[in-house]
Chain A
Amino acid sequence: DAGITQSPRHKVTETGTPVTLRCHQTENHRYMYWYRQDPGHGLRLIHYSYGVKDTDKGEVSDGYSVSRSKTEDFLLTLESATSSQTSVYFCAISVAGDSQPQHFGDGTRLSIL
């Protein structure tokens, strides 16, 4: 258990509303990641972080922003949600470094109507 908690676990919201997903880890790991998983696309990296206030874009970052003001929390924000952002969102951490295996949280199922 990598000590990762995602919240909320499920959310339904309307197009145009802001949404923030939280990833919380208890073990002080430096590397954190946000993915989305969709049928036919697999896991795709949205944003990642190498430490407090050190974040970078992944392959599908448009429409998303992140913040990491504390080591333990990595927030993903959809500023104005669209139906195309309906997905399952996973947070992950890397215990031993960026090229090492990642461990995932339970996921957040987000539906945007």
Chain B
Amino acid sequence: RKEVEQDPGPFNVPEGATVAFNCTYSNSASQSFFWYRQDCRKEPKLLMSVYSSGNEDGRFTAQLNRASQYISLLIRDSKLSDSATYLCALHRGGSQGNLIFGKGTKLSVKP
């Protein structure tokens, strides 16, 4: 299994739809997980951290499944403005303490 893997999409959904992305990882020692949003030709921006108990921020819900080694991002009531690429990131664990990023999942919300 690759260190981190995301379905590249694109996910094309109508406004108001609920959409979910997964990100699988191989290193069971990873302790910190994040979702980023990246708009076209812009820098990645932190969307939310992912906690073991799951966390919610408005229409966005992030969950961690350690047993199956994946994190998920759920977007409810999709807006046109949610169209972007969503990157997962996780701490490598061990002594090399830096983040590894997934290649991103592209979301396109249509009217």
Which A positions have Cβ atoms within 8 angstroms of B?
33, 40-43, 45, 48, 58, 90, 98-107
Q: Please give 12 more A-B residue pairs, beta carbons under 8 A apart, in addition to A58-B98, A98-B98.
A: A42-B87, A42-B102, A42-B104, A43-B87, A45-B98, A90-B43, A99-B32, A101-B34, A101-B49, A102-B46, A102-B89, A107-B42
Q: Number of contact residues on B: which range applies?
A: 20 to 34
What are 25 A-B pairs at a CB distance below 8 A? A40-B103, A41-B103, A42-B101, A42-B102, A42-B103, A43-B44, A43-B87, A45-B99, A58-B98, A98-B97, A98-B98, A99-B31, A100-B32, A101-B32, A101-B46, A101-B89, A101-B99, A102-B46, A102-B89, A103-B46, A104-B43, A104-B44, A104-B45, A107-B42, A107-B43
| Residues of A with C-beta under 8 A to B44 | 43, 90, 104
> Is B91's beta carbon under 8 Å from chain A?
yes
| Residues of A with C-beta under 8 A to B43 | 90, 104-107
| Residues of A with C-beta under 8 A to B91 | 99
Q: How far is the CA of A43 from the CA of B43 in the complex (A)?
A: 11
Q: Which of B43, B44, B97 has the most chain A CB within a 10 Å cutoff?
A: B43
